[in-house]
Amino acid sequence: EPEVTQTPSHQVTQMGQEVILRCVPISNHLYFYWYRQILGQKVEFLVSFYNNEISEKSEIFDDQFSVERPDGSNFTLKIRSTKLEDSAMYFCASKRRAGGPEQFFGPGTRLTVL
Amino acid sequence: GESVGLHLPTLSVQEGDNSIINCAYSNSASDYFIWYKQESGKGPQFIIDIRSNMDKRQGQRVTVLLNKTVKHLSLQIAATQPGDSAVYFCAEYATSGSRLTFGEGTQLTVNP
């Protein structure tokens, strides 16, 4: 069964450093998302991406964040200058078609900012 | 603001019992309500959804009930098994947007 994959599984970085989190969505999916989950809290939407542009972003997704689909398979989230409060699990998700709610989530990348 | 929230943070049941996990929501404009299961160290996994114009939907061992009058959503799991132990999140989705809005989560523990 096809699934969303994410790398790395755990990323440790120093405050102020740039990180890139990588995702490979399910191959025939067209809609891509990033969510984050601070330890013990609920999952929060960051951004959605379709047709090579951002469809929607939350108030969390400020100028420090960017997303890119550099080729036909990868979807990346970049944080330019990490802060301590960026420490969280970051989940990538994808969806095949518009309208329906079902998004398929990857296993997540745990980002730890020291 | 509008949010999706849960009544209870934890639920402990005996194997074989039925489980009921509850959720309150406040955004009446949502088109779908969804239940996700999250096992430790994994991403959320879709369980079942229900359109806002329905009040009940059944899946395999799961039933979702939607009461729009009191803005309440529940997930019933029949014959709960140890593999059902996880955190369960309700979420809402409006087709006018793209995001899922998640609630706080309920930790379900199934005791053998």
Asked if residue A57 belongs to a domain, the reply is: yes
The pLDDT of residue A2 is above 90 = no
Question: Are A48 and B98 inside 8 Å of each other by CB?
Answer: yes
Nearest to B49 among A44, A58, A101 (CB): A101
| Whether A72 contacts chain B with CB within 8 A | no
Q: Which of A18, A15, A20 shows the shortest CA–CA distance to A34?
A: A20
The pLDDT of residue B6 is above 50 = no
Residues of B in contact with A102 (CB under 8 A): 34, 46, 49
What residue in B sits closest to A4 (Cα-Cα)?
B43
The pLDDT of residue B5 is above 70 = no
Asked if residue A37 belongs to a domain, the reply is: yes
pLDDT, chain A, mean: 95
Asked if residue A102 belongs to a domain, the reply is: no
Asked if residue A27 belongs to a domain, the reply is: yes
| Whether A31 contacts chain B with CB within 8 A | yes
Question: Are A33 and B99 inside 8 Å of each other by CB?
Answer: yes
Question: Are A101 and B43 inside 8 Å of each other by CB?
Answer: no
pLDDT in tens, A57-113: 999 999 999 999 988 789 999 999 999 999 999 999 999 988 789 999 999 999 999
| Whether A11 contacts chain B with CB within 8 A | no
Asked if residue A52 belongs to a domain, the reply is: yes
pLDDT in tens, B51-87: 999 999 999 999 999 999 999 999 999 999 999 999 9
The pLDDT of residue A40 is above 90 = no
pLDDT of residue B97: 86
The total of structural domains in chain A comes to: 1
Task: Decide which of 3.40.1010.10, 2.60.40.10, 2.30.40.10, 2.60.40.3080 is the CATH code for B4-111.
Answer: 2.60.40.10
Asked if residue A91 belongs to a domain, the reply is: yes
Residue A37 pLDDT level (bands cut at 50, 70, 90): very high
Distances (CA, A) of B63 to B15, B34, B108: 18, 11, 16
Tokens of A89: 């699990």
Where do the structural domains in chain B lie, given as residue ranges?
4-111
Residue B4 pLDDT level (bands cut at 50, 70, 90): low
Question: Are B44 and A43 inside 8 Å of each other by CB?
Answer: yes
Asked if residue A114 belongs to a domain, the reply is: no
Specify the CATH number for the domain of residue A90.
Answer: 2.60.40.10
The pLDDT of residue B2 is above 90 = no
What range defines the domain where residue A52 resides? Answer: 5-96
Residue A35 near residue A44 (C-beta atoms within 8 A): yes
Question: Are A105 and B45 inside 8 Å of each other by CB?
Answer: yes
Residues of B in contact with A44 (CB under 8 A): 102
Nearest to A56 among B45, B98, B102 (CB): B98
Asked if residue A104 belongs to a domain, the reply is: no
pLDDT of residue B3: 40
Task: For residue B73, give every residue at least 6 positions away whose Cβ sits within 8 Å of its Cβ, in sequence order, or none.
Answer: B22, B23, B24, B25, B33, B35, B50, B64, B65, B66, B67, B90
